[in-house]
């Protein structure tokens, strides 16, 4: 079976399987981005997008990738030479650090083993030590897409509060938004960074910044040069339902439909579904006798699971075999994890039978690749799904 | 989970899961059905459709359901009061008998138990007994969609040949075409009846008649009244790339794409895939400790599997629970099988992981419904799929 | 400009330009035609379709062309050898006669010149003469698609009533439904025949019969053999939201959307728009110095305009030139009108600027073809559209 | 007619009418942006996009608007405090100046009347005066979308060459690319900036930089801080068919199809078509007795025409009336032209009959708005289109 047969299973941790309703919505004709119909679409969208961020404040939407939304968060709030505190949770945290440095910031990077989230105690220590408040922002990746580890944002917030530290809290929710419970307002996040192609179930092409009042205030004097990313001009245009530069109209159509789907299911149901699927996936991994990359029970991602491949096996070869044999894409190990882990995306537009199909594909692939596993993985997952996990 | 989440699994034995390429092809703007672009489309299609029927002769395409294509086969070849020989293989064979009677034909209906195909020996006996050749046509359902039993057409042909009987051979391939090896020319079939929504992976709306030279000749004097279904007018218009009445243009776009997909995979690969999936499905059913409806090993359908539900359980309630819990549709027991069997469609646009998801949904549904099963069904199917069935 | 550039203008009198919303609706995945979601769709549709027919009675929907819907009307209501009264209004009336004869009916065909509608006085005469009530049905084409002439159905009804004649009234609304005011109930029509690809703005593939109580009653004893077209079985299945044989699901999705669009605009606005566009078109034709085929001011079609080409010019060559030069399709002269008329479709999903573009294409094409015309056609049409026709 | 009827005419100078093929291409499922299928797509696209820029060098593609592509051009090539020479050709040139200043550059802005292109003589003077080569880049808008004036890039290039000035030449082709002949290599442009939603016939969401070798070299030492826009990282990833941050996959599908359409028509035919439509539009405007904004015959835009509204009339009210009455969008006067001009977009996926419809809508709208015009505009345009302009 050397060519793709049947429907592709896109089980990378984003882009995710886009619902056909969203794809169809996106295929409506492009309209005048300065006309009344567009204004009405925008005004509705800018409200409808807030609950998924857990905010009542403004959300800025960019034609960009998630990486662009990172850049936007930094250039709107910081000045050249500013220090930011960041955590080496994995590949994307590392990329974010590089970006910050490229933009002229100084990064205090708390080292990590890529198997844990951002350490709230380390945060507390660093902040307490920063008596002069040289740290202007704390940058945390909520859900490390490269490792399947979810950091505890509320505890990072507490560290800031306990230290009485005025730094902004910037959080990357690129692979958590719309999949994992998230609370911009309640957790006192200043800028929440996200994008379209994960839990929001859209193709890539939209970046988001949810912005606190404090962040807005700080942005007025932030010294990094910016134009495309500038919140002020966008928010001003947004008031009348427009954008500062031409928006990605057809992706906005898709966003409207995707938000409708999330709302129809109910966000709490969406989050519970992801938790359940993640639990079933871990049950499968353990039944196979393999190791989940994430080491802290409190930090397992509900969006993806990174699986450690036994010594002597190449995770990328296994993924390639699974793609060729089963028309299913899995996530590669990134950065220093290349070849040693693969990642199963179980986020977005997904359900129990699709998860069962996914895990079956992984199990068959591992077997065909000669990885020594116990065959009971899928069965263990099904037991979790039917609520018989403990029986 | 009371509302549909994720992608629907349409695992009825047709309509089947339509590939997104086919759906998109169908959404192209309708064109002038009397213009040059249309003529070119038609002439290409009328050739491209032949291999899937195993014929080099003409194939007539109707805007109709498969039922319409049945009617077309009868009214083009028979005269009022003509006798036809048919076989009670299940619900659809029974419906076809009713149609023949409604159209004024006399049906000699060989009784059956709905668990076997058309009996070649019974055919031989009846044909031998018909010394006056009062039987004008033998009507066989190749793959009984209601039972998952595939009749042995080549053996029916042999019965006709052995008896030196001139009756036409009419075969319903509604749920086999494009899924199960079929040979109109080689098997000496006179009219092959089919439709779009099963192995051809299209939505419903097209009916087909592949027509032998003998059938064409007979149609010149056949006495049943006809107009819409009349082959002659259609074939004449087809010569220049047109149709006698307005064709279902957008479904023809879909047909072009679906035939391209079948050709890309290769028909022999398509048939082998269906056989393999059917074998895996039966392995699951048996591992659950349940009974496959089909009783003859030579006649298991490669397109669907009908599963007998244990006494005291209502198959329709199980299907309803599976639809509600897992967003997956299974086929109901039809006619006298209502409530006692459900049918798993594993035909059309499908692959190993989708089958694994499907069988997982059935297994979980049976468990949730309280049907006493052994849990090893999915595992047994995966063993077949990875080629370890005998290990 | 020898290849298609820009968006095609499909200005034949059907199939018409399908709205993108309808095409997108049709590209949704096919669902189980025996499941609850489908039942809900059907029950809604069977109600929503009634207003466009002007009926509160049942409407039967077939997977078929309009020709199929003709056949359905005849075989459900008539018996072999029955006499029907029909009118030679043009090509389609002639085809309908042929069909009736093929089905074993006797047709009394009132001759016509293809430039007038069915003559109510001739109808009155024939019905009065038929003292024995041998005429079982009167068959009228509401809008002759081949000529652009609309027959006066209410007056035909009056002829029946005045004669106290019990014949059924069967009306073909194939190119009028959804474009021209039509009243099945008020005009006492017994079977209204229609299809999807004209005023309903869908691709071809659905046929319709709106059925009066009298027609239903008559169908119980009508002797023509039928199965696929049988109203009884379909209406029975419809009661629970299903169909007798597999319906053309994706076209039904399109129908739902098309009916929504008609309802949103308002049927009376839809009819007024068509009248206005037809008037503007005739203004253009006359300003060009050409002749409209229809000769009776009371009978101009609001859906299309057939234009007589001056002697010495071939209408088909002109159409071909327009297709090649302007990517616009016009309707050919059919039957005995071949080469001497072309037809401008101005029905369905259409607006003032699209009409202006259409007429501009015709004007430029006539000029390029060397047909001697006055250039003021488009200008005259624009005057009608801006309400300055009389100024 | 207060609600949208029929197909919308999107006659703003971008976003333009997206071909249905492109919309359908975009609705294919999103794929793994790190997988082999994606790599193959990217490698093909990066070659296929070059001819439309007139380059054999690299083209960088961003998920962004055209504004983002401006920013990319500046931050990759310039250093804080660098001086750039720019020309006040209209609203977008003015916005670009603002951006440059926001990013910390010093802009020498040659004043203009918004009715002429960038003045090559003024360029020559400024460059000659800049003996110390403080000007690091010359920024020109090829086609001013706000005015319908096309600057003569080849002459600006000559001014640079004649002055022996080493400044880079940055050209905005946002509303010219794919509509107006453009030659990145031949004209010695260093960065060509563009986006998807105009002549490329896509929805908005992609930004482009075509980059000369010189620009690439300069970028290695350019001091403006950058990360998202950094060419180096992107070009490096492109080599293997990937991107530095997640690309807008579905827009890339659309780009492939749009480039195929342009190639099928042939770029020289595409440019000739736009010239012809622009000429016909100006003929209409002049026949109405109105003034075209552009004052230099050498600089008329082939993509759009800005029309000056007579004193006492509000261009925005006229546009609103046309939108409400004819379901057609026209471009507003921007910046200081607000209310005094409207803009007719005649670029992208367009043909003669669509242009005739567009101009008819404008003519009817002007009349309904009470603007005193001569009615002969559409007729004058049709004369140009049929090649009889001079007859």
Residues of B in contact with A371 (CB under 8 A): none
Chain-centroid distance, C-alpha D166: 26
Q: Hey, is the C-beta of D2 within 8 angstroms of any chain C C-beta?
A: no
From chain B residues 134-153, the ones with a CB under 8 A of any chain C CB are none
Res B183 pLDDT > 80: yes
Interatomic CA distance for residues C157 and C169, integer angstroms: 8
- All residue ranges of chain A with pLDDT < 70 are 1-3, 388-391
Residue ranges of E strands in chain A: 9-11, 59-63, 83-87, 106-110, 135-141, 143-144, 149-150, 168-172, 191-195, 206-211, 291-292, 304-308, 328-332, 341-345
Whether D228 sits inside 8 A of A71 (CB atoms) is: yes
- Tell me how far CA of residue D40 lies from CA of C216, D22, D32, D207, D241, in angstroms: 61, 19, 12, 21, 6
Give how far A229 is from chain D: nearest CA, Å.
Answer: 9
**B20, B28, B29 member nearest D28 (Cβ):** B20
Whether B227 sits inside 8 A of C102 (CB atoms) is: yes
Residues in chain C: 391
Given a contact cutoff of 8 angstroms between Cβ atoms, the answer to whether C103 and B75 are in contact is no
Mutate to test the interface with C, among B2, B6, B32 (most CBs of C within 10 A): B32
Whether B364 sits inside 8 A of A352 (CB atoms) is: yes
User: Exposed e or buried b for every residue in C291-314, given b needs 16+ CB within 10 A?
Assistant: bbbbeeeebbbbbbbbbbbeeeee
Which of A205, B250, A318, A343 is CA-nearest to residue D24?
A: B250
Given a contact cutoff of 8 angstroms between Cβ atoms, the answer to whether D150 and D143 are in contact is yes
Q: Give pLDDT, residue C53.
A: 98
Whether C28 sits inside 8 A of A28 (CB atoms) is: no
Residues of B in contact with D27 (CB under 8 A): 24
Q: Give pLDDT, residue A389.
A: 59
Residues of C in contact with D7 (CB under 8 A): 7, 17, 19-20, 349, 351, 354
- Tell me how far CA of residue C142 lies from CA of B14, C37, C76, C92, C267, in angstroms: 38, 36, 20, 11, 18
Q: Hey, is the C-beta of A6 within 8 angstroms of any chain B C-beta?
A: yes
Task: Locate C367 and state its tokens.
Answer: 């000029």
Interatomic CA distance for residues B240 and C134, integer angstroms: 41
Residue D3: pLDDT band (50, 70, 90) is low
Q: Hey, is the C-beta of A361 within 8 angstroms of any chain B C-beta?
A: yes
Task: Locate A192 and state its tokens.
Answer: 């929440």
- pLDDT tens sequence across D197-255: 999 999 999 999 999 999 999 999 999 999 999 999 999 999 999 999 999 999 999 99
First to last CA, chain D: 38
B vs D, Cβ pairs < 8 A, gives: 11
Q: Hey, is the C-beta of B333 within 8 angstroms of any chain C C-beta?
A: no
Q: What fold is seen in the domain A20-263?
A: 3.40.640
Q: Hey, is the C-beta of C24 within 8 angstroms of any chain A C-beta?
A: yes
**D15, D29, D99 member nearest A30 (Cβ):** D15
**For residue D154, what are the contacts with CB-CB under 8 A and spacing of at least 6?**
D183, D186, D187
Chain B's closest residue to A329, CA to CA, is: B353
Residue D209: in which H helix or E strand, if any?
strand D206-211
- Given the candidates 3.90.1150.10, 3.40.50.280, 2.40.340.10, 3.55.40.20, the CATH classification of the domain at C9-16+266-385 is 3.90.1150.10
Mean pLDDT of chain B: 97
**A17, A23, A382 member nearest B378 (Cβ):** A382
Q: Hey, is the C-beta of C23 within 8 angstroms of any chain A C-beta?
A: no
Which of A84, A33, A92, A91 is CA-nearest to residue A63?
A: A33
Rounded mean pLDDT, B26-37: 97
Rounded mean pLDDT, B140-154: 98
Strand partners, B155: none
Backbone angles phi, psi at C83, to 5 degrees: -100, 135
Interatomic CA distance for residues A142 and A156, integer angstroms: 11
Q: Which chains touch B (3 or more CB pairs under 8 A)?
A: A, C, D
**For residue B96, what are the contacts with CB-CB under 8 A and spacing of at least 6?**
B70, B86, B139, B141, B172
Task: Locate A26 and state its tokens.
Answer: 């996106």
User: Exposed e or buried b for every residue in B353-386, given b needs 16+ CB within 10 A?
Assistant: bbbbbbbbbbbbbbbbbebebebbbbbbbbbbbb
Residues of C in contact with A28 (CB under 8 A): 20-21, 24
**D17, D265, D327 member nearest C5 (Cβ):** D265
ipTM of the prediction greater than 0.95, yes or no: yes
Q: Is the peptide bond before C356 cis (omega within 30 degrees of 0)?
A: no
**D26, D70, D99 member nearest A250 (Cβ):** D26
Whether B8 sits inside 8 A of C27 (CB atoms) is: no
- pLDDT tens sequence across A243-257: 999 999 999 999 999
Task: Locate D257 and state its tokens.
Answer: 């199809």
Chain A's closest residue to B10, CA to CA, is: A353
Maximum Cα–Cα distance across chain D: 63
Mutate to test the interface with D, among A65, A73, A344 (most CBs of D within 10 A): A65
**C16, C26, C227 member nearest B103 (Cβ):** C227
**For residue B157, what are the contacts with CB-CB under 8 A and spacing of at least 6?**
B169, B187, B188, B189
DSSP C185-206: TTTT-SEEEEESSSTT---S-E
Interatomic CA distance for residues D188 and D156, integer angstroms: 10
- pLDDT tens sequence across D301-342: 999 999 999 999 999 999 999 999 999 999 999 999 999 999
Give how far C24 is from chain A: nearest CA, Å.
Answer: 6
Residue whose pair of structure tokens reads 């599908």 in the numeric block: D253
Whether A27 sits inside 8 A of C24 (CB atoms) is: yes
Residues of A in contact with C29 (CB under 8 A): 20
Given a contact cutoff of 8 angstroms between Cβ atoms, the answer to whether B112 and B166 are in contact is no
Q: Which chains touch C (3 or more CB pairs under 8 A)?
A: A, B, D
Whether A32 sits inside 8 A of D18 (CB atoms) is: no
How many CB atoms are located within 10 Å of the residue D108 CB?
17
DSSP B13-52: SSS----HHHHHHHTSPP--TTSHHHHHHHHHHHHHTHHH
Q: Domains of chain A: which residue ranges?
A: 9-16+266-385, 20-263
Residues of B in contact with D29 (CB under 8 A): 20
Interatomic CA distance for residues D17 and D258, integer angstroms: 12
Q: Hey, is the C-beta of D29 within 8 angstroms of any chain B C-beta?
A: yes
**For residue A182, what are the contacts with CB-CB under 8 A and spacing of at least 6?**
A52, A53, A54, A142, A153, A173, A176, A192
Given a contact cutoff of 8 angstroms between Cβ atoms, the answer to whether A14 and A225 are in contact is no
Whether D197 sits inside 8 A of A228 (CB atoms) is: no
Residue whose pair of structure tokens reads 């299974």 in the numeric block: B330
**B358, B376, B385 member nearest A353 (Cβ):** B358
Q: In 3-state terms, what secondary structure has residue D348?
A: coil
* Beta strand B291-292 pairing with B135-141: unpaired
Q: Hey, is the C-beta of A356 within 8 angstroms of any chain D C-beta?
A: no
Q: Hey, is the C-beta of B386 within 8 angstroms of any chain D C-beta?
A: no
Task: Locate A219 and state its tokens.
Answer: 């942005």
Q: Is the peptide bond before A15 cis (omega within 30 degrees of 0)?
A: yes
Res D2 pLDDT > 60: no
Residue B342: in which H helix or E strand, if any?
strand B341-345
- Tell me how far CA of residue A75 lies from CA of A104, A231, A238, D219, in angstroms: 10, 10, 20, 21
Q: Hey, is the C-beta of A312 within 8 angstroms of any chain B C-beta?
A: no
Residue B3: pLDDT band (50, 70, 90) is low
Task: Locate A197 and state its tokens.
Answer: 């192609």
Chain B's closest residue to D27, CA to CA, is: B24
Q: Hey, is the C-beta of C374 within 8 angstroms of any chain D C-beta?
A: no
Q: Which chains touch A (3 or more CB pairs under 8 A)?
A: B, C, D
Given a contact cutoff of 8 angstroms between Cβ atoms, the answer to whether C330 and C343 are in contact is yes
- Sign (positive/negative) of CA torsion C308, C309, C311, C316? negative
**D26, D249, D323 member nearest A35 (Cβ):** D323
- All residue ranges of chain C with pLDDT < 70 are 1-3, 388-391
Residue whose pair of structure tokens reads 């003032």 in the numeric block: C352
Residue ranges of E strands in chain C: 9-11, 59-63, 83-87, 106-110, 135-141, 143-144, 149-150, 168-172, 191-195, 206-211, 291-292, 304-308, 328-332, 341-345
């Amino acid at each position: 079976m050397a060519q793709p047969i049947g429907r592709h299973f896109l089980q990378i941790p984003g882009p995710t399987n886009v619902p056909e309703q969203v794809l169809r919505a996106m295929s409506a004709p492009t309209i005048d981005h300065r006309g009344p119909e567009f204004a009405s679409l925008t005004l509705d969208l800018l409200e409808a997008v807030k609950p998924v961020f857990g905010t009542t404040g403004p959300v800025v939407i960019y034609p960009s990738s998630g990486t662009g939304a990172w850049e936007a968060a930094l250039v709107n709030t910081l000045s050249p030479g500013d220090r930011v505190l960041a955590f080496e949770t994995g590949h994307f945290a590392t990329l974010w650090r590089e970006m910050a440095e490229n933009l002229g910031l100084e990064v205090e990077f708390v080292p990590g083993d890529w198997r844990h989230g951002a350490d709230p105690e380390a945060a507390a220590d660093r902040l307490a030590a920063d008596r002069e408040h040289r740290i202007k922002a704390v940058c945390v990746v909520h859900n490390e897409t490269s490792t399947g580890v979810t950091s505890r944002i509320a505890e990072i917030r507490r560290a800031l509060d306990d230290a009485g530290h005025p730094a902004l809290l910037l959080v990357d929710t690129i692979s958590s938004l719309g999949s994992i419970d998230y609370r911009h307002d309640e957790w006192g996040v200043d800028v929440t960074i996200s994008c379209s192609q994960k839990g929001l179930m859209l193709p890539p092409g939209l970046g988001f910044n949810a912005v606190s009042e404090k962040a807005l205030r700080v942005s007025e004097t932030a010294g990094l040069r910016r134009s495309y990313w500038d919140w002020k001009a966008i928010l001003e245009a947004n008031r009348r339902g427009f954008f500062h530069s031409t928006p990605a109209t057809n992706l906005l159509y898709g966003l409207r439909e995707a938000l409708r789907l999330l709302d129809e299911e109910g966000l709490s149901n969406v989050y519970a579904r992801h938790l359940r699927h993640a639990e079933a996936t871990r049950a499968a991994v353990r039944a196979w006798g393999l190791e989940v990359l994430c080491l802290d029970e409190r930090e397992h991602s509900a969006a993806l699971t990174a699986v450690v491949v036994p010594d002597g096996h190449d995770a990328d070869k296994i993924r390639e075999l699974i793609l060729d044999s089963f028309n299913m894409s899995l996530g590669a190990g990134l950065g220093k994890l290349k070849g040693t882990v693969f990642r199963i995306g179980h986020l977005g537009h997904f359900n129990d039978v699709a998860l069962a199909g996914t895990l079956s594909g992984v199990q068959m692939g591992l077997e065909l690749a000669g990885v020594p596993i116990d065959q009971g993985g899928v069965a263990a997952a099904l037991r979790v799904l039917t609520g018989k996990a403990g029986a």
